[in-house]
Structure 1
Amino acid sequence: MKTKCARLSTLPDHVVDAVYLESELDEYRGNPFIEALPPIPSNRRLAAMLPERPRYGEHERDLPRHLRTHCILRLLDYFEPLGRHYDIANRVDLIMRSGYRKRNPHGPEFRRRLQENYEKLQCPDSQIEMDWAESAETLAQSMSMALIGVSGVGKTRSLKRALSQYPQAIRHKALSNLVQIPWLIVECPHDGSVKQLCLQFFKTVDRVVGAKYAERFGSKGVTTEQRLLEVAQIARAHAIGVIVFDELQHIRPAGEGGIEKMLNFFVTLVNHSESPVILVGTMAAQHLLQIDFRQGRRATGLGALVWPQFEPGEEWDYLKKEIWKYQWTEKSSPFTEEVSQVFDNRTQGVTDLAVKLYILSQYRAIVTRTEQVTADLMNQVAEEDFALLEPMLDALRSGDPLKIARFDDLRPLDFETTLARENLRTQPPIDVVALQRSLVDQEKMRRAQTLEALRSAGVSAENAALAVETFFNSAPDTTAAQAATDALKLLGMDRPPRRQSKAKAKASIDIDSLSHDDLRRAVHDGKATGSTAHDALEKLGVVRGPQAVFE
């Protein structure tokens, strides 16, 4: 049997080897694609796996401001599972295992469908087009679903947390090293074409299993129908458990019947690959699922879920209070009813906005040194940083689905840009002139300290000044102590004088009896004329100045 599955010479590090767990249900038992998955999750298991809470310690509130501003950004990874998140995790598991039920690699049906898809790929384009149209009218029994919701309520994040309990790639050594892909997330292209969606699928599979499908199947001159069958063949060959098509609202009409052609793509893909699909999009994508009755039925295998923003209530209050526990300001801020109302009014139950409003408010409290988040501060931050979101927030306040869909493509918040703007607004400007003046003043001080140290060691004023100029021109950042030490080494004056015994120190020396070449007489005579010991010795030719060293 020939397939279009590529030979994988080198597997990515995230590919794991299958470890099989005997299934508790008869219909799943003996299917390696199912028994290589973790156990069917209970809510208790999900409660341990779904949350993603940042590191936090009360002692961090004593850290310097510049460190605490970084700690705040940990909240971007915060995920607190609520009822809807448990529901989506259970649905994903049902869809995945149900899709594998009739794809047991040990059964004859699995090989038969692989062979059928391969033979269709070998057919003329006209025959492929006819088969493709027929398959779009025939609904397979594979369950799929749609998830539509307001931007920022956590649709994609929830799915990723639900899918994170499964490995993304599993190698089955007993099945000729077949690499199973339990889940795959493909982002719909902005141009909304079937061709680009197929190419995006190939690239995503390549990243997961280390193949080169995009290079092999992404060439020009291939019909849409042919490319669709290639996608289905790869999905079947890698036993993809569920394919998530995210950002469904990116689909746009491409000529006459463009939307219907794209929707037929999803139906045909499920029929040929038997991989369930999950369609995810904002409220702007809702009309895409209602435009075609067949696609509407396909998306309701386990329901077309609609996630609006959170309404005031027990779950939303719980989420706000949990977020509020993460405080990096020096002063503790109690969660008050006034704070709760600011969250409600300024974020309209959108979790993404709630987290980012809290991050920005803490950031401003720290950098402005007020060190406490209050309702007034949160209102001020929202007034300034959420200004561009007001059309969307007004639509959410109205509760009108048409208005919400109209403004839904406006992203909840360009956080990086907003944070940069917040930084510029709150940080005092840097006085470059004053900073440069300070650096110059510090160098002057180091030069003066070095000069004083050299003069104290007996170096003449002229030679000390020359040494200072030489050293600081070559190394402006050197310290005064280091410059003085290095200069004395070059002058040969870095050796400590020998200690004399008290008896010798008290013994009187007849200077007149010493020869004129005697160092003691030279120093004595120099002092009598007002010269330093160094000047006297230099005149005698015993020591050399720095000029001679640096020439």
Structure 2
Amino acid sequence: GLGNTVWDAYENNAVWQSLVEKLWKYQWLNTYTPLTKELSDTIYYYTQGVIDILIKLFILIQIRLISVHEQRKGEEIITPGLIQQVANENLKLVEPMLNALRNKDMKALARYDDLLPFQSHFDKIVKEALDSHSVTDWVPAKPAPLHDAQDDVNAQLTLSLKLMGIAEDVIKLIVEKVLSENPNGDMLTLMAAVISELKKTKTGKKQSASRLKLVAANEDINDLRLIVKREGSETPYQKLLAAGMIRFPVEERFA
């Protein structure tokens, strides 16, 4: 299931801003909304630096705009008020956890380690949107400005997973599976499928099967030396992070 590792959160610093800026390019609306400081601050308040919630909220915001403007009347613009409205309506299940992060209350945060209800809620909203004509039959009238990485759907999905800290070999497997099962899917469909696959694979706690095969059966797979020696282009720190031996510094928020 989805455990409390998901609650590892970023401070509102340059690293977080870079992640938001990269994700912000993935707008599938008829009007591209530039990222402003007010929008960025609002996004941070309602996500508290949690990547999983950031991605889900960004998808939900666009679903709301597309659904509301089914007749393609008017511009689809992301505003602080819209972010607040969508967050208040859809993040109720994780509000206690977000409040614990805002208050830097580690004890309270430790009580909330089950994200499955929120995942189910998110999946339901996405499914309903994709089943409706407002989303599945929609073709953007004025696509957002495309960037190099956005010219290739594979590259978009790969970058999104990298932002979530997923290992490259796992990314390759997930992207190939999602694209093969949804050859004509738009980005909303594909991102929903990616999130569903992440839930199944429990990537936050396990290495991919290909990496595990590199470790002999009689060896401890959590041996730090073996983890660092595993094949791949990642640094030793990244390998230990992917193996779950190092957690993102959420504890620093409560120092």
- TM bucket, shorter chain: 0.3 to 0.5
TM-score, structure 1 length as denominator?
Answer: 0.21
TM-score, structure 2 length as denominator?
Answer: 0.44
Which of the pair is proportionally richer in strand? 1
Q: Which has the higher contact order (CA 8 A, sep 6+)?
A: 2
In our comparison, the structure showing a higher alpha carbon Rg is 1
